[in-house]
Structure 1
Amino acid sequence: MLPDSVLPDSVLPDIETVVRENLAAVLTIDIAPEDLEPAAALTGTYGLTSLNKVLFLTSLCRDTGIDMAHFTEDDLAGMHTLRDCVEILSRHAPAGA
């Protein structure tokens, strides 16, 4: 897992921004993207439903150019927090993104 303050390369800030914006867009609570906590549980803290997770992941793939087919079942099951999403997406980001 990535610590809150460590962004190892230039790809992560872009991915983190996209993750934050897309997560805030699908949540049923009103929260600004910058107010989302990296380690908070997406379902427990933010109430992300299964349907909203699908919408969230679909929009993430569209906005990052990452093909959903790259994700394994373990990747999808491991997306419990914003930090998890950033970490997993960064592994599949196109070179030079």
Structure 2
Amino acid sequence: MEMKPIPPEESLIEYPSDFPIKIMGVMHETFAQTIIEVVSIHDPTFHAGKVDMRPSTKGTYLALTVTVRAVSREQLDNLYRELSSHPMVKIVL
């Protein structure tokens, strides 16, 4: 299903702006680096310093909060789509 574009005056986000996204997945040695690579495709200004990592209490999962420079709704939609469909990712918020 194709989403219809939201007119700028109806968007809840002002562009450009810094936009946090939380990504959760199973703890794995390459999870954080893999997510950084995916995010960097959609935000060329993104770097590892914009990542906050929090392991779950038992160390089974890793939650990453990445702060991207959002420049358009299309950019965010594409990023959410790619993250949500990635096999290492369980949840994107």
TM value normalised by structure 1: 0.38
Choose between structure 1 and 2: higher strand proportion.
2
Higher Cα radius of gyration = 2
